[in-house]
Amino acid sequence: MKVLGIIPARYLSTRLEGKPLADIFGKPMIQRVYEQAKIALGNVLVATDDQRIADAVKAFGGQVTMTAAEHTTGTSRCLEAYQNSKIEADVVVNIQGDEPLLEPQQLDEIVNCFDDKTVDFATLVFPNAEELRDGNGVYVALDKNLNASWFSRSVIPHMHGIERNEWDKTHQFYKHVGMYAYTPKALVEFSKMEQTTCEKAESLEQLRWLENGNKIRVGITKHRTIAVDTIEDLERVRQLIQQK
């Protein structure tokens, strides 16, 4: 199976501007994500609209392609990067550029979903119980075939008639890992779809695929990652890397 990993990277961020270039013990964050991805994948490409990020990637010897600034989602940026690359791929993996604690095994786990030739869109989740109290993150409900039934920023499913502190004793909850993989055909199809009402309501672009009657296969990972959205997240990641 030919796999291409694409890391969308934007300089502008409402909460932490320039975060792809944030220093983590002598390396920009984008380099740490890239190096982790390269452990699992032969072809990895950074997709950016900012020359500063492109220059940083070239400086550490990574592959990079410039994309338009108008993209509103990482998925549409991935499509342009894939088309620009001219790299043949059976599967394209959209890798979050703000997760320097990415585990290479996660990439293996999401790519393995495509061993089933009926799969054209996949993502990852991890079993979760301890964070049900705060309700942060994105939760996923699964069907018996390991397809996603729904994604929500609310804890799903709601356990009717059961005290919240008892929920995890009666159901296995899952939280979403923000990594996606698609066949090139599905990536093109997804990018052509118009935004849907639930996608807008939850601000979760993957709901567009489900609302159009399609399936998303789910891989279950034991590895949890930390998205760097704030300076506090960045400091936490630095501490964890230092501990390693």
pTM, rounded to two decimals: 0.92
- Amino acid 168: pLDDT: 82
* Per-residue pLDDT at 133: 61
Q: Please count the other Cβ atoms lying within 10 Å of the Cβ belonging to residue 117.
A: 7
Per-residue pLDDT at 130: 63
CB 81 within 8 A of CB 47: yes
- Could you check whether 1-102+229-244 and 117-224 share the same CATH topology? yes
Local confidence band at 131 (pLDDT 50, 70, 90 cut-offs): low
Q: Alpha-carbon distance 242 to 224, whole Å?
A: 17
Amino acid at 31: Q
Query: How many helical (H) and strand (E) elements, i.e. helices and strands, does the chain have?
Result: 8, 11
Q: Domain locations in the chain?
A: 1-102+229-244, 117-224
pLDDT in tens, 198-226: 999 999 999 999 999 999 999 999 988 88
pLDDT at site 194: 93
d(CA 137, CA 165): 18
Q: Are strands 3-9 and 43-48 parallel, antiparallel or unpaired?
A: parallel
Q: 117-224 has which CATH code?
A: 3.90.550.10
Three-state SS at 204: coil
Topology of domain 1-102+229-244 in CATH is Spore Coat Polysaccharide Biosynthesis Protein SpsA; Chain A (3.90.550)
- Which amino acid makes up residue 204? L
Collect all residues with Cβ–Cβ distance below 8 Å to 137 and sequence separation of at least 6. 131, 153, 175, 176
Q: Cβ distance 100 to 228 under 8 Å?
A: yes
Question: Residue 48 forms beta bridges with which residues?
Answer: 9, 66
pLDDT tens digits along 154-195: 989 988 999 888 888 888 999 999 899 999 999 999 999 999
Cross-strand bridge partners of residue 7: 46
Three-class DSSP category at 147:
strand
pLDDT at 106 > cutoff 70: yes
Give residue-wise pLDDT tens across range 22-63.
999 999 999 999 999 999 999 999 999 999 999 999 999 999
> Three-state DSSP class for 79?
helix
Q: With 80 as the cut, is the pLDDT of residue 132 above it?
A: no
